[in-house]
Structure 1
Amino acid sequence: MIMSVYLLVDNGSKQPDATLYLRCLATQLSKHTGQTIHPVSLQHADAISAEQLDGTPAKVFSEFLRGHLEEGEREFVVLPLFFGLSRAITSFIPEEVARLQSEYPDLSVKLAPVTWPLPEGESRLGQIVFDHIRQARETAGPDTHVVLVDHGSPSPKITEVRQGIARLLKEQHALNVDQAVMERREGREYDFNGELLVNWLREQAEQGVTSVIVAMLFFLPGRHAGPRGDVEEICDSVVKDYPQLNYRITPLICEHPLLLDILRDRIATTEQCL
């Protein structure tokens, strides 16, 4: 019986914490599923020195596949650590697979569903966000204003994920949250992204709000999320102008045990072959 090689795939970062957390998540998922899950980034992680990664260098997607192909492996299952169908999934992965298939025609790569498949969504992802907000409210207070923040994407389908989670929070948990993006491209054609986080924070401060919760729609730490990430820097930049404003940033999605259940079920429903 031919055994598949399982990959837990993120977009990749040049920040060591992103790869270290991905490895930790893959280890936990391996125990949760009984399968060996390999942590693999699509790009960037191979620029991190091995010394910053506990002595083990990171391998990116194409390099990882090629290495296993050279060892005789032919069947792979890709589990995307993505909220929605970004270009990394719809373009980058298929293009890299097609390039390798020109050398290895019998290469088979199956792609598992994303964590928030449209249109049905994923109620457990909403539960994760709600639990993190509830945890932050234990110290911030029940009336603290909440904003749900994602990276910002040129794809409306990714914004639909954030909107779907906000809608679920309201319908299932009676929790109203505002929405914002960490960054977005200029131009009216990207207005679907919504408001920038920095503008939302300033508006709250100017209205006399003194406490806010920034609910993070990010899986892993890195340049944007986690300590000293862009989101934290944005919040600090506003607090410099409005020192009365206090903010709390929720944990990342990878820090909640329900994510393992979601990913386990995505593996079980893998059908699409690239």
Structure 2
Amino acid sequence: MAMPDSQICFLFDNGSLRPSSTLNLRATARLLGGVLPAPVRPVSLLHSSAVDAAALGGERAELLEIAVRKWWGENPGGEAVLLPLFFGPSGALTGYVPARMEAARKAFPLARWRLARWLIEPGEADEGVAGALAAEARSVIAAEKLERPRIVLVDHGSPQRAVTAVRDHLGAQLRRLLAGDAAEIGVASMERRPGAEFAFNEPLLATRLRTPPFDAGDVVVLLQFLSPGRHAGPDGDIAAICAAARSERPGLHTWMTEPVGTAPEVVERLARRFAEGRDKPVAAGGDFS
């Protein structure tokens, strides 16, 4: 399908005050731009515009709504495909983004937008993204010369049950993919909201690393994160959780993987989501999914 000149892909993440997160987003956008028939602009929902431009190669980060408004101002009838760099259907994708985009579009009556899907749908059998995670685990196992360690897949944690379902789906895929590499594979969340209604996030990583059999021996903490930042960086929250657990369990040794946002399998999935989003029925007035 030929692409109109007035169509663009806005690849967006949640945003971070850590420069490494924006730099990683830009790297993913460059890779994606090499395979898409439309320009790709990396943007964030929040936070990133506050990062000093000097830490970002002299180019300040852009926020989604501001960038889309500016582009519509230059392309009044343009079609914007919004492509989320998210594993699952967070509240930002099901509520915040559609509301903000419709508010923005009211100033541009001819403008159109489509919101593409997130990376993982538990009903899909494709194991590409799980394969990228498995490759990260195997890389650590090989580099550290580990013998069938235990592996914990850890995500951020979410108030949306559907997001945790993505974590559990990836965990099940990893049990198949890494059956010959690991003694045992579990899942965990970095954090959760208080209250019984959010217990579906359990177990927390801090609990998992203090509970047999994951409280002793070699444990690879497999990051279900797409970019480094405050949580997944080398000095981030997950590293601190692991260090605290090791201090209480002298026999525990933890090893952290890298985020997977620039993995070829993730870029391929993003390209597929773009194609799906591009071909959704759309009319002036917004997203008609």
Give TM class, smaller chain.
over 0.9
User: Residues 210, 40 of structure 1: CA spacing in aligned structure 2 closer, same or farther, 3 A cutoff?
Assistant: same
Would you say the 8 A contact 2:150–2:185 is kept in 1? yes
- Structure 2 residue runs of 5 or longer lacking an equivalent are none
Correspondence for 2:22 = 19
Q: How does 1:153-192 map to 2 (within 5 A)?
A: 153-174=158-179, 176-192=184-200
Distance 1:112 1:127 in 2: 22
Matched, 1:105 2:109: yes
**1:85-117 alpha-carbon deviations (Å, 9 max, x no partner):** 111111111011110122112221112221102
Structure 1 residue corresponding to 2:7, chosen from 4, 7, 11? 4
User: Compared with structure 1, are the counterparts of its residues 157 and 86 closer, same or farther at alpha carbon in structure 2 (3 Å cutoff)?
Assistant: same
1:26 and 1:39 in contact (8 A); partners too: yes
Aligned partner (choices 134, 137, 159) of residue 138 of structure 2:
134
- Does 2:151 align with 1:146? yes
Deviation at residue 121 of structure 1 after TM alignment = 5.5
**Matching of residue 91 in structure 1 with residue 98 in structure 2:** no
Q: Aligned equivalents of 1:233 and 1:152: distance in 2?
A: 16
Once the 2 structures are TM-superposed, how far is the Cα of residue 238 of structure 1 from its aligned partner? 1.7
Q: Which amino acid aligns with 1:194?
A: E
Match of 1:199 among 188, 200, 207: 207
Instruction: Give the letter aligned to residue 210 of structure 2.
Output: R
Equivalent residue number for residue 226 of structure 2: 219
Q: RMSD across aligned C-alpha pairs, in angstroms?
A: 1.8
Instruction: Give the match's secondary structure for 1:185.
Output: coil
TM-score normalised by structure 2 residue count: 0.89
Distance change (3 Å), C-alpha of 1:171 and 1:241: closer
Identity %: 32
More helix, by proportion: 1
Q: How far did 1:217 drift?
A: 0.3
Deviates more, 1:13-22 or 1:195-204: 195-204
Between the aligned partners of 1:160 and 1:206, the Cα distance in structure 2 is 22
Alpha-carbon contact 2:208-2:214 (below 8 Å) kept: no
Give 1:218-237 correspondences, 5 Å limit. Answer: 218-237=225-244
* One-letter amino acid matched to 1:101: R
TM-score, length basis structure 1 = 0.93
Residue ranges of structure 1 left out of the alignment (5+ in a row): none
Q: Post-superposition shift, 1:266?
A: 1.4
Please give the alpha-carbon distance, in whole angstroms, between the structure 1 residues aligned to 2:101 and 2:214: 50
- For 1:27-42, list aligned pairs within 5 A: 27-42=30-45
After superposition, where does 1:23-62 map in structure 2 within 5 Å?
Answer: 23-62=26-65
Return closer, same or farther for 1:39/1:246 CA change in 2, 3 Å cut-off.
same
Number of residue pairs matched by the alignment: 273
Task: After superposing the two structures, state which structure 1 stretch, 10-19 or 243-252, moved more.
Answer: 243-252
Q: Secondary structure at the match of 2:210?
A: helix
Residue 222 of structure 1 and its aligned partner are, at CA, apart by: 0.7
Matched, 1:64 2:71: no
Q: Is the 8 A contact 2:20 2:229 kept in 1?
A: yes
CA–CA separation in structure 2 for the residues paired with 1:206 and 1:12: 32
The CA deviation at 1:168 is: 1.5
Are 1:259 and 2:278 counterparts? no
Q: Distance in 1 between matches of 2:116 and 2:162?
A: 18
CA shift, 1:34, in A, is: 4.6
